[in-house]
Structure formats: C-alpha cells, structure tokens
Amino acid sequence: MKKKTFDLTSMYQSADQACRLMKVLSNSDRLMLLCQLTEGEKCVGELQALLGIMQPTLSQQLGVLRREGLVSTRREGKNIYYQISNPQALAVMHVLYANFCNA
C-alpha cells in the first residue's frame, strides 16, 4: 500500500483560504446574513426586516461578503437580491445552519 504524500504548499494555501473564510464568518451580523441566505436568495429589504440590522450596518456587512466573494447579487427593478455564491461558504453554512440557526 502506497503511503499518501502531502503537498505542504497546497495545504498552506488551503489553510489560508479556510482562515480567511472563518474570519469573515466571525462577525455575528455577517453570520446572521449568511444564515438567512442559506435558506435562499433574499433582497436587502427582506434581510433588514428579518434581522433588524440598520441600513448602514447592513450595507457595510453585505459589502464585505461581496468583496470576499461569498455572495453575488442581481438587480430586479429597485431591489437587489443576494445569494451565497461560494460553494465552500455554502457547505460551512449548511453545517452551521443545521447546528445553530435552526435551533
């Protein structure tokens, strides 16, 4: 049986990506936004009503999620809809959602 070898460079790159994702998730407003988006696409007004996050904070945190590539947007009329677009983030959110959001 051949022993599996590890590419340390790739492992460190993956660890850096995981740390970056966990850093983004470490903010409770962003985590709550992603928890809601785990259920499906939502517009800004829906997110504000569901979570009670004030508009300046909501815009700031959605901007962080967008810059980090975790969510994507689409415009329909005056509404901007958000959805989780990063498969790794969605996988982590499914685990977190099952254990914490759906309690």
- Name the average pLDDT for the chain: 91
* Integer Cα distance of 99 and 103 in angstroms: 7
The token pair at 1 is: 């049986």
Q: At the top level of CATH, which class does the domain 28-101 belong to?
A: mainly alpha
**Taking a C-beta distance cutoff of 8 angstroms, is the pair 71, 84 a contact?**
yes
Whether 103 has a pLDDT exceeding 70, the answer reads no
Q: What is the pLDDT of residues 19-43, one digit of tens each?
A: 999 999 999 999 999 999 999 999 9
| Structural domain boundaries in the chain | 28-101
Q: Which residues contact 69 (CB under 8 A, 6 or more apart)?
A: 85, 86
